[in-house]
Amino acid sequence: MTEFRTPYGLIGRKLSHSISPEIHKALGNPHYSLYELEPEELGDFLGDTRLKALNVTIPYKIGVIPLCAELDPLAEAIGSVNTLVRQENGKWKGYNTDAYGLRCMMRAGGLSFAGQNVLVLGNGGVSQTIQAIAKLDGCRTLTVLDLSGTEYTYDDLPRFFEQTTLIVNATPVGMYPHAGTSLADLRLFPNLRGVADVIYNPQRTALLLQAEELGIPYAGGLTMLVAQAKQAAEYFFSRSIDDAKIAEIGADMQRDAENIVLIGMPGSGKSVIGEALGRLTGRTVIDLDAEIVKKEQRTIPEIFAAGGEAEFRRIESEVTAEKSAERGVILVTGGGVVTQARNYAPLRSNGRIYQICRPTEQLSREGRPLSLGADLEKMAEVRMPLYRKFADAAIENNGTPEAAAAEIWRDFCAYTRSQWSEFEHAGNP
């Protein structure tokens, strides 16, 4: 039986990657624990009168409803509860704050359900909220796909290519540690005008990365997570919290969790700038070339000698995907990482990518198999378009490593704040 730890917390089945305690601590509640429960434990656990208020996640958002003596009207209408508050009579009242979080997420992405032909992927507890809010907010049509085929299965997806204008993913597909997967190829939806994904780890799922590539407005799940927690805390303690708190917490969490990725020509100074950035920020610096050597127990020249560039690129892509799953680190890439298009998604999924720029004649060749004896001008001619395609920003390395690191950090902090500007001022959506 799961033991009592604090009067507030989150109940679910698998919670090892939850960041809810961090959010609630930032909201002023340090007494918040993660309670992993098996289905048969749910009733007995909720009977512990020391518990005052709880959040609820997969797979119990529907299962807790019979254990509530009262439901908030919105939770009752939706048929899903993600917040429980013990009343003075000792019984639970159920609320749905996912609805508030969902509307905040849509607002942050410049999206709306009004007038849209909505396609929802998944039919669990959070999907119930999405379906209800889509209807309340005036969607034109609503279609739900899931594995069991409650309405339609994923095999029916082609039937909705033409009509769909808004897709919302309410499944765990694409979530860490299985990032990089998606249920839908957005290129097949000619009239698509928006994409939302409730997943928050990674920051950008494969679905959202494709939306970004196609220029389709999109919204990710971190906004929903922070906003629903804000409203849950309001119910927990019967007090109002300014919307500006969403911006404050969200920007801090995104800044702390998102990686800083350095790309650029061999010898452009990525490593020394990465080290300076590590000293400046206190972040762990991960050099992907060093990780390749560690993984293979061979030097990079030895890998090239044994298997050629193709073998090295294969290993490099494996290490890139593995290390990109880290959060809040500095990733220093090899100069040729951009030659493999498959490396973009893992690097961008949870990172902001900076191209380190340096004149070709100043590039170092030492210890770089492809640079030794190479025509760096021709190499740059091929690679520069690829660096520009990968990069979110470019940094000129024409001073000290410390100066370049400081410029990157200023940009990174400004960028993360800008992602939450919608909530910097008070007022509910």
For the chain, what is the total number of helices (H) and then of strands (E)?
14, 16
Which residue of the set 61, 230, 245, 323 is catalytic? 61
The token pair that represents 5 in the structure block: 């730890």
Dist. CA 108–CA 111, nearest whole Å: 8
125 vs 112: CA distance, rounded Å: 21
N-terminal to C-terminal alpha carbon distance within the chain? 40
Residues 154 and 148: their CA atoms lie apart, in Å, by: 9
Q: Strands across the sheet with 194-197, in order? A: 141-145, 117-121, 166-169, 194-197, 218-219
Which pair of structure tokens corresponds to residue 421? 């500007």
Longest dimension (CA), the chain: 80
Cis peptide before 59 (omega within 30 of 0): yes
Q: What is the four-CA torsion angle of 189, 191, 192, 193, rounded to 10 degrees?
A: 170
> Among all chains, which residue has been given the structure tokens 């389709």?
216
Q: 3-state DSSP: the chain helix, strand, coil percent, rounded to 5?
A: 45, 15, 40
Neighbour order of strands in the sheet with 259-263: 285-287, 330-332, 259-263, 351-357, 393-396
Distances (CA, A) of 253 to 40, 102, 304, 344, 413: 34, 18, 40, 23, 11
Would you call 61 a catalytic residue per the annotation?
yes
User: Pairing mode, if any, of strands 53-56 and 83-86?
Assistant: antiparallel
Residue type, 365: R
Cβ burial 3-23 (10 Å sphere, 16+ → b, else e): eeebbbbbbbeebeebbbbbb
Angle made by CA atoms 257, 263, 269, in degrees to the nearest 5: 110
Paired with 261 in beta bridges are 331, 353
Q: Which residues are catalytic?
A: 61
